[in-house]
Amino acid sequence: MCASISGFSKLSKSKKIDWMVETYFSNAEETKNVLKQYWNTNDKLQQLHDEFIENTITNYYLPLGVAPNFLINGKFYTIPMAIEESSVVAAASKAAKFWLDRGGFKTKVISTTKIGQVHFMFHGAIDSLKNYFNHIKPKLIQDAHPITKNMEKRGGGIMDIELRDKTSDIPGYFQLHASFETLDAMGANFINSCLEQFAKTFKAEALTFDAFTSDEKDIQIVMSILSNYVPECLVRAEVSCKVEDLSEDQSISSEEFAAKFIQAVKIAEIEPYRAVTHNKGIMNGVDAVVLATGNDFRAIEACAHAYASRKGRYSSLSHAKVENGIFTFWIEMPLALGTVGGLTGLHPLVKLSLELLHHPTAKELMQIVAVAGLAQNFAALRSLTTTGIQQGHMKMHLMNILNQFDATNIEKDTLTAHFKVNTVTHSAVVEAIQQLRLKN
């Protein structure tokens, strides 16, 4: 039976590890060695990583790769991608090279509005609440000015505050629904600080509002928090070319490829079982760049999937068509990103990634990330509708299987050559490495 512990957070890093390995692991020294081999030898850098979160014991590494040859609005990019899944970086690179000779990617930011809400309970007359809101709205903005003044100097700040009646869903439930422009910052702390000030003013001023009855003065604030659903923080990315320029595969004509590709997208538009996997492929590209640039991939994921469900059924984030002999493939999705604040100025690899991308603004990063998602989706659909997904994916996965069996460099070279002309499956690789070792 594992024991509980009090005051764990106050222990030193080494003491935390001592308790953990002695409580949960059979070989304490081996476990400690595994943890310590991932520590950075630069003590200052290790301390920086230790202080990102609480109760740190080691670093968890992900590969940081790059996908070159992206032409976006006439400008070349090499895109950083932090991800553990085989074939993602290769697929993105292949899609970038394919579209490089066909005009590249075209993008535009549609809007950048972000949302926060004060959730509260009020059980008086709705007309009285509306009168109070109209009275207090200017003061809500005024009282938040110490928080917003620097953002306002740069052109951002509070865009609007609305009173929303949600009593049809929960009796007495209302919202202050606020919209914000946060420029190059993702803006979570800024938005939450504004919302908490709104709530403070909104509750306090109700006590002296003469038009309220005594019962109506008691407004109950439930919580004040930004929303990661930002359907008005939108970006579009697309590629297009003549249909006859589409196919590089002699086994399928350009016209047939376009037809199958569009049909595959239409299936994802109406079939949720397919749409989830389809959008997961998009997020392979999106999340990898979001993570590499120090942004919150969990918020991006949640928002993207909510947006995919906005019409009442989960659907594809990407779309395709042929009109007048022109094939067009595009994505339109919400992306709330930042290039200042958070990890962007702290994590050395995040700073490197942003420099690699020419120090983008938040709007530019939105466009780059959307392109990565579209490229990933194009590569996946191209494989699915021609050779099948496993041929390329399993060849990229081959090295992972070989590493599971501690293959030597000579064994890797031999088996890589073997599987250039043979189908890769886990069992086939196991059999091949066993036979190779028997010969030796």
Q: Please give the structure tokens belonging to residue 284.
A: 């392979």
One-letter amino acid of 256: E
Are 81 and 66 within 8 A, CB to CB?
yes
- Measure the CA–CA gap between 174 and 120, rounded to whole angstroms: 5
Note the Cα 393 to chain centre separation in Å: 22
Of the residues 296, 347, 364, 397, only one is catalytic, namely 296
Q: Which of 321, 318, 328 is nearest to 106 (CA)?
A: 328
Cβ neighbours of 398 (radius 10 Å): 20
Annotation marks residue 296 as catalytic: yes
Burial class of residue 221 in the structure, from the number of CB atoms within 10 Å of its CB (0-12 exposed, 13-18 middle, 19+ buried): middle
Of the residues 137, 203, 217, 280, only one is catalytic, namely 280
Are 398 and 424 within 8 A, CB to CB?
yes
Are 227 and 113 within 8 A, CB to CB?
no
Annotation marks residue 393 as catalytic: yes
- Measure the CA–CA gap between 221 and 191, rounded to whole angstroms: 17
158: three-class secondary structure by DSSP: strand
Active-site residue list? 85, 280, 296, 393
